[in-house]
Amino acid sequence: MGSAAEFLACLPPVLQLSICCHMQKAIHGITVAHFFETYREKLKMELITGEAGVHRVIREGTINRPALALTGFFKYFANKRIQVLGAAEMTYFKTLTPQAQTDVLNGMIDRHIPCLVLTRNFHPTRPMLAVAKARKLPIFRSPMITMNFVNLATLCIDNEFAPSSVEHATTLDVRGIGTLLRGDSGVGKSECALALIERGHSLVADDLTVIKLLDERELMASSRPLNRGYMECRGIGIINIAEMFGVKSIRLDKRIDLVVSLREWTPEVVEERTGLEENFYEVLGLKIPHIEIFVRPGRDIARLVEVAALTQALKKMGHDPAKDFNDRLIAFMARDVEQITAKAKPVPTKPISVKASIFSREEKNSAESV
């Protein structure tokens, strides 16, 4: 593994800078054609008219229902979003005269809306069809209920507009824990990933991982379509994971829960021994739990990564083995201290009263006289 990094190092500095500048980016717009081709089946969309305008750009990652705009009020009109007309909008729109319908649509198109979507399989009115054809405005139709369409379309378009970056790393699904394997070229990331796949885990991406920040709360990893399901192993070459291990060994995407960095071991390194100290790796402003595993002869790196993933799963469930053991150790030490303290206390002596002392002296004198 590591051919991508080596390829980048072989490029001229200008191209290296250009590629690195695209390693982290936020989408500023997608075409209507891209949105339609990507989500037409999921959203059950069909194009009615306006094929010539599918090059229009959607510039905001959300949906708008143009209620006030249909009355001619365009102040604060969200013109950069997909415009959805549901039952309420279409019922009101049909009450307008043909000329009023034409004026309202022209006003919306003048503000460069990307497209119109009619839900519940509503048919566009004649003025709507005429204006859309003349102004090259794409109009789509979907049988979905308006609320369901808006919710699902929002998720779809939010995925398109999510900030993204590319990491030189391999990503796997290890027992439900998305694990990002980092490390220098040749450290053994692909060999470790291959061993984990043999044990029943799934590959998400090899060598280059595309990461998207969704809802500003989770990182989703995926592979480029070109190399999805393929892996490069040094000394062997390119292998097809799906053909060798079955389709269950491939995942399209996975949330990242853990970052594991593989490092070359040297005598000077100080390795973590207890696991009490938590470290994090930041991607797109989000911190992910991070551990370092040092590679040296004789160590089963794949097994260590698997155990690290299982430990992270326990932590997500509220069970921290290192913290639990630390609490037990502190309680054990406190109990020992109490026992030692109890043994070291002096035995209290009962004080003798004056009356008892006189009585003892008289008995002694009587015994001597006898």
**Rg, the chain, Cα only:** 35
Distance, CA of 49 to CA of 124 (rounded, Å): 10
Among residues 192, 85, 191, 187, which one has the least CA distance to residue 132?
A: 85
- Would you call 207 a catalytic residue per the annotation? yes
Distance, CA of 125 to CA of 141 (rounded, Å): 13
Say which of 189, 212, 251, 315 is annotated catalytic: 189
Q: How far is CA 265 from CA 10, 160, 186, 272, in A?
A: 27, 41, 13, 13
The answer to whether 309 touches 258, Cβ cutoff 8 Å, is yes
Distance, CA of 2 to CA of 189 (rounded, Å): 9
CA atoms lying within 13 Å on the CB side of residue 196: 34
- Would you call 94 a catalytic residue per the annotation? no
- Would you call 255 a catalytic residue per the annotation? no
Secondary structure of the chain: what % helix, strand, coil (to 5)?
A: 40, 25, 35
Say which of 273, 343, 345, 364 is annotated catalytic: 273
Say which of 56, 65, 81, 168 is annotated catalytic: 168
SS3 per-residue string spanning 255-277? ECCEEEEEEECCCCCCCCCCCCC
Buried/exposed code over 220-254 (b: 16+ C-beta within 10 A; e: otherwise)? bbbbeeeebbbbbeeeeeebebeeebeeebbbebb
Say which of 65, 141, 201, 207 is annotated catalytic: 207
Positions marked active-site: 168, 189, 207, 273
